[in-house]
A and B are shown apart, each in its own frame.
Chain A
Amino acid sequence: MHVRNRSLAATLAACFALSIGIGIHAPALADEPGVSATEILLGGLHPYSGPASAYAAIGKGALAYFSYVNDKGGVHGRKITYKDLDDAYSPPQAIQLTKQLVEQDHVFAMFDTLGTPSCSAIRPYLNDNGVPQLFVATGASTWGSDSAKYPWTIGWQPDYQSEAIVYAHYLLKEDSNPKIAVLYQNDDYGDDYMAGLKFGLGAKASAIIKTAAYEVTDPSVSSQIAALKSSGADTLFIFATPKFSIQALVAAAQQSWHARIFLNSVSASQTILGAATKAGGVDATKGVISTQYLKDPSEPKWDGDSGMKLYREIMAKYLPGADTNNGFFTYGMAVAYTMVDTLEHAGKNPTRKTLMDAAIHLSERDNPFVLPGIIVHTTPKDRFPIDQQQLARYDGARFSSFGSLISGRGR
């Protein structure tokens, strides 16, 4: 008798502890989830662990900007709390954390969720529940082009396809019969760029005479470069993340392949090209063309710029010791700026509906972290907030922009 009760009690106690652990509680609901008199609660997902952890800097940059805004009084008198969780770039983790953020923490909206797999996994749920999924941190074109099916989701950065279209149009102006080779990362990122390039080339898509993909687990891309070079192409597109871009540039130089090179913007920062120059010589990077839309903190030409000064102030105060040359921090602040702008336009008593409305009626001209002249602009029909980009050419030491701001989709 005695003994049975004791083990029963122990099991009961364990189960009770377990249930507390999962957090059974029903917090008092505000009228609008995530909005109180003093606070706005936003949810976020970034990979703080695992192979994609480099991108976590974006979330940290956004957090720093929000802290800055909060210290100045917040938005309509409310402080922004950004609960940014680690989804380890895993869709099952992403969907669970999102449900937690929406159903337990009652976030007002999801902001700056990162990674196409995670964002794709949570998109149906958020749309079914009318939770805004704002300014997702990936350049996949689907966030803008599938808005009829998923009206609560919107991207932010210039999408990969339109970037490739910008390159294609420029190339055809310079050379009506190029012979094109493409190195691309073997995932949705690379696939999107390829699609954009083909679309932008239009009738001349057959100018692409050879493509080669690489996996992020590949130790080097020199084999791919050799294969691409042997096709006789005179133009090389590199759609790769920083490490592989550097390897590709160096390999091309080593193999004495003097092609006209287009490099995707994610890998086109001063720091990265400087590294490629160091490793492969000036030949590796001279003449490389890319696009920009953010101010690159490692480029000295922005040193006197007020936006860059603000960036450095915020970094010094809220992320001391972090590497200010890391453009991901700039990205985070830039997109947080747009978020604050949207919150302001959502009104003094924002609801998810007014927030989403504000997000699809943006006309933001004064984002201090994007290139001068870029307008963050949306309409219900045009859900690509930033599609203006600036072509720039690297001379072996510096980028210099040329031409005017171009819109990738001609919108």
Chain B
Amino acid sequence: MKGEGLRKYAGVVLIALILALLPRFVPSYAAFELTFVGAYAIGILGLSILTGASGQISLGHGALFAIGGYTVAILGQKLGVPYWVSLPLATIAGGIVGLGLGLVALRLEGIYLALATFALAVATPSTLKHFRSLTGGSQGIVLAPLAVPGPFHGLLTSEQWLYYVTWVLAGALFFATSVALSGRLGRSLRALRDNEVAAVSFGINPQRYKTLAFAWSAAYAGLAGAIVAIATAFVSPDTYSVALSLSLVTGAVLGGLGTLWGALLGGVIVEFLPLLVQKVNPAAPSVVYGVALILFMIFLPGGIGRAIQSGLNSLRLRRETNHART
């Protein structure tokens, strides 16, 4: 019993250790890329909660990234708000918009919600361009470089500092999510997802939980978008095209919906799959990407995360059977 608990945490602690020490050993640009992995992982975690835990499909989370990114950009460049203030504000902004979307989503089922959120994703760039006095239009906004605060000055580059901030945030959020999902919140969401009618008869209020799930996942997406904006030091309407929303969903599904490891894997996939695909076929990377998606859905619809999980489970089963036999 005790061995099992320690074993579960050993993996997490090890990853945490590796992440903490990595910037010492890898070049700065690699830490930079891993920062994006962390940001996408946070965003996909949110998406994973929404779809995996509460069963609502969103093909429009890129729009929430845009909310987060532009909040940080506008507050920073127009009002001089420092990042340590605008980052939480971006998260809250995402959450508020998510609340609104969630209320709308209550009336939409499955495929209709997918459609509506898809339309949202497609409409995002032109909407951003429209409010040009606020958003800078298609020129975009250049963000101020991230300054490394006093105590760390000279020890860390700006990229490494952002890396640590991102991964500490990611770690905290993953932990908090894990706790929330294993408690009553998670159980209610899963009950709603699996059989709404039965859940309602148990007294679970679908409106409240589903809207909450949307707001929650949108807050994460807002935070992720803000981090990406700070890292890129630039936002423009084209950054938030429908391709972003689709790659988030792809990452979430390929990583494994509804699992924490799946969200982490999803972040890795969103960041590195396009690069990998370029190496396979530089002339037509999209073809490789599309075919990969199709193959995954046919053979591994639960995503890599689930495949690893079931692989580990069957390994454990075999081991226990062997133990029992000996």
Contact = CB atoms under 8 A, between A and B. Distances in A.
A74 interface: no
Contact of B142 (A11, A99, A104, A124): A124
The interface residues of chain B, by DSSP majority, are classed as helix
Interface in B21-46: 22, 25-30, 32-34, 36
Interface class of chain A by DSSP: helix
A102 B27 CA distance: 11
Interface string B198-231: 0000000000000000000000000000001001
Contact of A104 (B27, B126, B274, B278): B27
Interface string A116-157: 110011001100000000000000000000000000000000
Nearest to A218: B126
Interface in B111-133: 122, 126, 129
Interface residues of B, number: 50
10 contacts: A7-B11, A15-B15, A24-B27, A49-B286, A90-B244, A117-B239, A120-B236, A124-B233, A125-B233, A215-B126
A104 B234 CA distance: 22
A49 B247 CA distance: 14
Contacts of A32: none
Contacts of A26: 27
A313 interface: no
B14 A117 contact: no
Tell me which of B22, B234, B244 has the highest count of chain A C-beta atoms within 10 A of its own C-beta: B234
Contacts of B244: 90
Given A4-B10, A90-B244, A121-B232, 17 more contacts: A3-B319, A11-B10, A22-B30, A48-B285, A86-B278, A93-B274, A95-B231, A95-B234, A102-B29, A104-B30, A117-B239, A120-B142, A124-B142, A124-B145, A186-B126, A187-B137, A217-B126
Interface in A106-122: 116-117, 120-121
A11 B11 CA distance: 7
A188 B129 CA distance: 10
Nearest to A84: B282
A93 B270 CA distance: 11
A30 B37 CA distance: 31
A96 B7 contact: no
Interface string B247-282: 000000000000000000000000010100010001
Contact of A120 (B25, B140, B145): B140
